[in-house]
Chains A and B, each alone.
Chain A
Amino acid sequence: MSTELYNEGQIVHQPTFIDGSSVEIPELRILDQDGVTYPNADLPEIDQVLATKIYQTLAFHRVLDERMVASQRQGRLSFYMAALGEEAASVGGAAALQPQDMIMMQYREQGALMFRGFSLENFMNQLFSNADDLGKGRQMPIHYGSKALNCMTVSSTLATQIPQATGYAYGQKLQGLDAVTLCYFGEGAASEGDFHAGLNMAAVQEAPVIFFCRNNGYAISTPADEQFRGNGIASRGVGYGIKTIRIDGNDILAVLKATQIARAYAVKESKPILIEAMSYRLGAHSTSDDPSGYRTKEEEAKWQSHDPILRMKNWMLKQKWWDEAQETVLFEKLREDVLAAVKVAEKIDKPHIDSMITDVYDIPPTQLKAQLAEVKAHIKKYPEAYPFTAGKF
């Protein structure tokens, strides 16, 4: 309980500074881009059934992103965020967990939801903020969440989920559950105060939380070297006294292996653990962004060659767990399904006007009921100005 903890027996008499980048952190890679595992690599627990589910999820992810970016360009959708090139982080992380584990996402982890069974209809209803959206059409596209699937609803506020994950995990521990919380965030979000608060509290309170940083090189336009110094996000974990690993985030087997170990550690030791997955955001930050203004085609091409889905496919082909015929059928079906689902979701009504005041509190207070009544009276007077709701109450 004192400073004696640190330096007992290590007093020196010449000034010795530690260099800010002196912490050396290796990067775990199990699979090369040709789909060959390194000879001495420790493989994750994976069989053909799990591998096929992961691969099909990655394929769904890629197709959904492609189609939804296109839909936004056609003006059918207001906004979208793709995760092109870094799908392995969210899908592989979720694949290493148990269904009772909580996943707290930042916003580019639709792959985790897909792996857990968030349906195409669930995605569409949220993206089109219609009456069937689980979030009741209240948040911009991509702010998914599912209580049934233990995936906490996304909020736009960056890094707020990090100390929340610590608290959530602490609650799981207090109850003695066989469950952990996995918290995703980007390397940019790690500059927020909430990141430091969340990691420090997790270390001190010994919360079973897996901090999963997707270091994809950019926070909108700001490259990582203008975001922080020192050895990445992993070195921060070490600084907070948290067991830490850096992995190749485009290597699905490395993601799976590291997260499987992290989960076992968090449950057994009841302590936090940090994974820094190195990747690259191949697409734009969002449909409102154009990366050509801040990075080169050459840089993008280099990372294109590290495609995590192609890497897994190469491995699956070599394992004889997958073939080109299956590939063609899968992608064709996914494209058809997504297009059909768009057509359905965009025709579903907006949420009912009464949902304007629900869920602010558990029960709407008198003031809110009065305010809603005023809005309804106004809409009745000017129905042509409010076509989505007029005549529907």
Chain B
Amino acid sequence: MAKINLLQAINGALDIAMADNDRTVCFGEDVGHFGGVFRATSGLQEKYGKARCFNSPLVEQGIIGFANGLAAQGSVAIAEIQFADYIFPAFDQIVNEAAKFRYRSGNQFNVGKLTIRSPYGGGIAGGLYHSQSPEAYFAHTPGLKVVIPRNPYQAKGLLLASIRDDNPVIFFEPKRLYRASVGEVPEEDYQLPLGKAEVIQTGTDITLLAWGAQMEIIEKAAQMVSNEGISCEVIDLRTILPWDIETISNSVMKTGRLLISQEAPLTAGFASEIAATIQSECFLHLESPIARVCGLDTPYPLALEKEYVSDHLKVYEAIIKTVNF
């Protein structure tokens, strides 16, 4: 099996999706001949033609509006928003249109064939407008699925599943991992399940939960505390909406403790939703308050990025505090 990076895995998934179905169309700002600012769509226009992979004008609400219509028509629409920080002009088309298309028509029409890809998250010295993690805004919208991969293998399988899922999916790609995360990825077509978290390390003392680029942070912290005899169960949530309550609560009923780490600001982040639900599902099993290790409630900083992020040391400290509560 070839070792490739997360970007190549995305590109490979798109290639398969386009070869697999000639009604699959990829578009967005600079995604055509140039192959996208990160090169995720590299080579697709050459291979599948300008009609199926093209540059859109610089208008996010237009990109998603167009994608909604295209998907409603029955084409497979894969729209790229160049940075998740720029998704907000399309908020209405996502939240009021894509998410409600099936419901409002009584299932006469739907945009299940829509997938929105967008690089998200920090760690690239991108400051406040190239670093945001806006998943919680979309997690508040019934009708959407929100998916975030942690490595190249996950990225390819989850993206193919997202493209083929019969619901509109927002697929956030941790841009810090685009080239940094390298791993073995099968060349062939495969899918990983949506709505299912994955236990990637079993343990007994505390459950550590994250998604995307935060996974390597919590894994590193788990390694650190294992030297001190603390056994962590590490879980990748993978799908933010609808999320896998069962896997998380089963784990917490076993360990009695939960720590959630996210890049996004603390207040009303998705970690808060998880904490509320697990508190209710596992109340009598909990031995300490659920810990949230998150960004500060500020815009994403530039010069002070290192201090801002929930890194492995902050997670380490929170594990110790939670276990010793």
- Contact status A170-B104, CB under 8 Å: no
Binary contact track B61-78/A, C-beta < 8 Å → 1, others 0: 110111111111111010
Q: CB-nearest residue of chain B relative to A136?
A: B106
Q: Does A162 contact B (CB under 8 A)?
A: yes
Chain B, 31-77, CB within 8 A of any chain A CB: 51-52, 54, 56-57, 59, 61-62, 64-75, 77
Q: In the complex the two chains form, is B97's CB within 8 Å of A200's CB?
A: no
Could you tell me which residues of chain A, from 361 to 393, have a CB within 8 Å of some CB in chain B? 361-362, 365-368
Contact call A194/B70, Cβ cutoff below 8 A = no
Contacts of A170 in B (CB 8 A): 66, 69-70
Do B104 and A201 touch across chains, with their CB atoms under 8 A apart?
Answer: no
Q: How far is the CA of A361 from the CA of B62 in the complex (A)?
A: 24
B residues in contact with A5, CB < 8 Å: none
Q: Count chain B CB atoms within 10 A of each CB in A147, A153, A155, A171 and give the residue with the most.
A: A171
Contacts of A366 in B (CB 8 A): 242, 245-246
- Please measure, in the bound complex, the distance between the C-alpha atom of A164 and the C-alpha atom of B109, giving whole angstroms: 13
| Distance, CA A153 to CA B104, complexed state (A) | 8
The answer to whether B72 touches A360, judged by C-beta atoms less than 8 angstroms apart, is no
Within 8 A of A (CB), among B159-182: 166-167
Stretch touching chain A among B88-96, B254-262, B264-272: B88-96
- Are the CB atoms of A365 and B108 closer together than 8 Å? no
A359 at interface, CB cutoff 8 A: yes
Contact call A171/B107, Cβ cutoff below 8 A: no
A143 to B143, CA, bound (A): 19
Q: Say if the beta carbon of B119 comes within 8 Å of chain A.
A: no
**Is B112 close to A, CB under 8 A?**
yes
Residues of chain A within 8 A of B92, CB atoms compared: 157, 160, 194
In the complex, the answer to whether B57 meets A166 with C-beta atoms within 8 Å is: no
Task: Name the residue on B nearest A155 (C-beta).
Answer: B104
B103 at the binding interface (Cβ < 8 Å) = yes
Q: How far is the CB of B83 from chain A (nearest CB, A)?
A: 18
Q: Please name all residues of chain A whose beta carbon is closer than 8 Å to the beta carbon of B105 when the two chains form the complex.
A: 134-135, 145, 147, 152-153
Whether B109 contacts A362 by the Cβ 8 Å rule is no
Query: C-beta contact mask, B137-161 vs A, less than 8 Å → 1, else 0?
Result: 0000011010000000000000000
Report if B102 contacts A (CB, 8 A): yes
| Across-interface contacts of B73 in A (CB, < 8 A) | 102, 167-168, 171-172
**Which of the four size classes fits the interface of chain B?**
35 or more
CA distance A365 to B142 in the complex (A): 11
Q: Is the CB of A200 within 8 A of B52?
A: no
Judge whether A163 and B65 touch: CB under 8 Å: yes
Q: Is A248 on the interface with B (CB-CB < 8 A)?
A: no
Residues of B within 8 A of A86 (CB): none
Residue of B nearest to A209 (CB): B69
- Docked complex Cα distance between A328 and B145 (Å): 55
Is A11 in the interface zone, CB < 8 Å from B? no
Given A155-B96, A197-B61, also A163-B69 (CB < 8 A): yes
Task: Judge if B220 is at the interface, Cβ distance under 8 Å.
Answer: no
Structural contact, B103 and A138, CB atoms closer than 8 A: yes
- Shortest distance between the CB of B113 and any CB in chain A (Å): 10
A52 close to B (CB within 8 Å):
no
Q: Does A174 contact B (CB under 8 A)?
A: yes
**Cβ contacts under 8 Å, A171 to chain B:** 23, 69-70, 73-75
* A166/B65 contact (C-beta < 8 A), A152-B72, A160-B97, A365-B195 known: yes
Q: Is B108 a contact partner of A134 (Cβ separation < 8 A)?
A: yes
Q: Are A360 and B102 in contact (CB under 8 A)?
A: yes
Residue of A nearest to B108 (CB): A147
Q: Are B142 and A153 in contact (CB under 8 A)?
A: no
CA of A78 to CA of B279, assembled, Å: 42
Contact B70 A193 (CB under 8 A): no
Is A231 interfacial (CB 8 A cutoff)? Answer: no
A393 to chain B, nearest CB (A): 19
Instruction: Return B145 CB to nearest CB of chain A, in Å.
Output: 8
The reply to whether the CB of B100 lies closer than 8 angstroms to some CB of chain A is yes
Q: Residue A358 at the B interface, CB < 8 A?
A: yes
Q: Does A175 contact B (CB under 8 A)?
A: yes
A146 at the interface (CB under 8 A from B): yes
Asked if residues A166 and B25 are in contact (CB atoms below 8 Å), the reply is: no
| 5 chain-A/chain-B pairs, Cβ below 8 angstroms | A157-B92, A163-B64, A167-B65, A167-B67, A360-B103
Closest CB pairs A-B (n = 4): A163-B65, A167-B69, A197-B62, A171-B73
Kindly list 10 other residue pairs between chains A and B, CB separation below 8 angstroms, not including A138-B106, A204-B56: A152-B109, A167-B67, A200-B59, A201-B59, A204-B57, A359-B102, A360-B103, A362-B112, A367-B242, A367-B245
User: Which residues of B are interface residues toward A (Cβ below 8 A)?
Assistant: 23, 25, 51-52, 54, 56-57, 59, 61-62, 64-75, 77, 89, 92-93, 96-97, 100, 102-110, 112, 142-143, 145, 166-167, 195, 242, 245-246
Residues in A lying within 8 Å of B, measured CB to CB: 102, 133-136, 138-139, 143, 145-147, 152-153, 155, 157, 160, 162-172, 174-175, 181, 193-194, 196-198, 200-201, 204-205, 358-362, 365-368
